[in-house]
Amino acid sequence: MTRRGTPSTAPNRLGDFHHGRLIALLACVSSGAETPEDSGPGRHKVKDFKMKIRIEKAQCVGNARCHAVAEHLYPLDDNGYIATDGFDVPPGEEALARRGARACPERIIFVIEDETKEDAAKPG
């Protein structure tokens, strides 16, 4: 038992927990895992994931709003219509690709987050 004003020599269990969690999160970030539970052998790594964009090119009416948001991701042909059926999103360009998809008023640009999930870009 310690007297008031005298520092305790007992370990600060809550502080140790938070410090351990911080170390685990830092290790997680350096390994590319989403959470410490995801790190380790055989676990999915965020940096291995590739987002894809699929475009129903024949439905394009030439608004070019996707191109206005990200012209390097959404190139246009000579007539002002989308020039690609889709692409793999380069690392670091995911947010821009999503914004370009959401900008399409015809909703013909689809963001593919993984093999089993394919969603049309939603407004908002």
Per-residue pLDDT of the chain (124 residues; tens, 9 = 90+): 555 655 555 544 444 444 444 445 455 444 444 444 544 454 444 445 689 999 999 999 999 999 999 999 999 999 999 999 999 999 999 999 999 999 999 999 999 987 545 555 554 4
pTM of the model: 0.56
**Interatomic CA distance for residues 46 and 49, integer angstroms:** 5
Give pLDDT, residue 27: 52
Q: Give the Cβ contact number of residue 23 at 10 Å.
A: 11
Residue 50's pLDDT is 86
Domain boundaries, the chain: 12-47, 50-120
| Structural class in CATH, domain 50-120 | alpha beta
- Give me the sign of the Cα torsion angle 87, 84, 66, 75: positive
